[in-house]
Amino acid sequence: MINWENADSLESWKKLMSLKGQVSLKNVMSAERVASCSVKEAGGLTYNYAAKQVNAQILGIMQELADEAQLTEKFAALYNGEIINTGENRKVLHHLLRGQLGSDVEYDGKNARKFYESQQKAIADFAAKVHDGSVANAAGEKFTTVVQIGIGGSDLGPRAMYIALENWAKKNGKLKMCAKFISNVDPDDGAAVCASVDLAHTLFILVSKSGTTQETLANELLVKDFLKKAGLNPAKHMIAVTSETSPLANNPEYLASFYIDDYIGGRFSSTSAVGGAVLSLAFGGDVFAAFLEGAHAEDKLACEKDITKNGALLDALIGVYERNAQGYPSTAILPYSQALSRFPAHLQQADMESNGKSVNRFGKPVDYVTGPVIFGEPGTNGQHSFYQLLHQGTDIVPLQFIGFNDSQLAEDVVVDGSTSQKKLCANLAAQIVAFACGKTDDNPNKCFAGERPSSVIYGATLTPESLGALLAHFENKIMFQGFIWNLNSFDQEGVQLGKKLTKKVLAGDMDDTLAAYAKILGL
């Protein structure tokens, strides 16, 4: 029997909240601690929490909280197909996209796993035909570029994953097509992309689960206008990723349609057809399959009850301790990898849209803070931007570093006795210690208080498998934190009000205040 209770009703929560400020990083940091505070993850990754403000006592109570809150049992209920999204009365099945964790999940007489596998195969087969020229433009010439049209989860995740693997694919001879993305309803976005590609050799992917997303449909019309003006038939240059019940399904205006269902949330859809179509076209179906394998391997580790063997669960518990006991309001995602330049933006949506809630899964207010503000940039760029506040500001911001021993490309140069990649890794190591231990100085302006907690996820190099594992780590961390806070992490009512008011503005159905803003914006 699973009990869905608010966190502050749990005895282990009360114990954890009483342990604020128990650990001084300056006093505990050592080589032995760095070596011992690690959890092996899938895809060759390791999660290291040595620079987090935890000790054996705190970890013990975190284990009690994980057990009392039934976190792995709730995960099992999710992947076995129970209704977890209470706001929309839906299952939550993105884990099933990449592999079977539990029992078969059926709906509407359909086996969900077999459906997802069929779509993965259909996409891989279509991509292979595009690559060999069986599917070509009207002149019989191969498509060389793919452009995804979508917004939110239909853009952020797939874009981040493509950028993450682009250089790896170049090095390994896997780059089949270049990919670009159109998301913003601002016409400058779509027009700039259309102007940057050879339209005659470009395939567009329209992504909208409902088939009614306002920004996406506006961009579709903009792209079709460009194609027509170039003397091209849009129906020969577009495919759709949508639900089987949307107006885009089996529509002759598209070369092909691929499907997702209502049980895949947009921000968790990178491993669905939403990410699968663009990644398979760009890199091949085998690369997308390897990405899914890495995610599934990490999902299996998330089933482990022992928090010292479950990196995503431990990361979630430490994050809750930092948010609720320590009172830290935000978290920075800092990948020391240019390939992950858009990964923080994806996690902004994944985390803040999921756990940015003030009522529990039953619609009752909670009496504790929930999801943190997420932001970030790749290192070392961030060091020359906002690290000043992170080091010496009045707020303490927990940090989540990501790093790799090797770059994705072979090209590198030696400057002042070391390669660029070694300089990157040296910066990462230095920042972890600088944030944790700080520095004293006779000049107060040069003093660093330290005690800035951080973790690091690291591996040999960024590959499809390790990227899949990294994505699943954060998806599962977000899920576990939502379970602890007793939230529904799988709806997003917070984005709906603005959409409704936008429709009122466009229809001219406005109150005086809304009309005043519309007027100054030229409407």
Catalytic residues: 353, 384, 499
Backbone angles phi, psi at 280, to 5 degrees: -70, -40
How many Å from the N-terminal Cα to the C-terminal Cα in the chain? 55
Amino acid at 345: A
Tell me the helix, strand and coil percentages in the chain, rounded to 5.
50, 15, 35
d(CA 293, CA 510): 50
Backbone angles phi, psi at 176, to 5 degrees: -90, -40
Neighbours of 45 (CB within 10 A): 24
Task: Using alpha carbons, list the distances in angstroms from residue 214 to 3, 207, 243, 298.
Answer: 39, 12, 16, 35
d(CA 334, CA 381): 10
Burial of 187 (0-12, 13-18, 19+ CB in 10 A): exposed
- What residues have CB less than 8 Å from 364, skipping those under 6 apart? 6
Task: State the SS3 of 313-334.
Answer: HHHHHHHHHHHHHCCCCEEEEE
CB 261 within 8 A of CB 243: yes
CB 489 within 8 A of CB 354: yes
Q: Are strands 373-375 and 399-404 parallel, antiparallel or unpaired?
A: unpaired
Classified as helix, coil or strand, 175 is coil
Residue with tokens 């006795």: 417
Classified as helix, coil or strand, 194 is helix
Task: Using alpha carbons, list the distances in angstroms from residue 415 to 272, 336, 379, 412.
Answer: 43, 19, 19, 10
Neighbours of 147 (CB within 10 A): 26
d(CA 219, CA 214): 9
d(CA 440, CA 448): 6
Task: State the SS3 of 8-52.
Answer: HHCHHHHHHHCCCCCCCHHHHCCHHHHHHCEEECHHHCEEECCCC
Q: Are strands 414-415 and 399-404 parallel, antiparallel or unpaired?
A: unpaired
Burial of 507 (0-12, 13-18, 19+ CB in 10 A): exposed
Backbone angles phi, psi at 361, to 5 degrees: -65, -10
CA 434 from centroid of its chain's CA atoms: 28
CB 346 within 8 A of CB 155: no
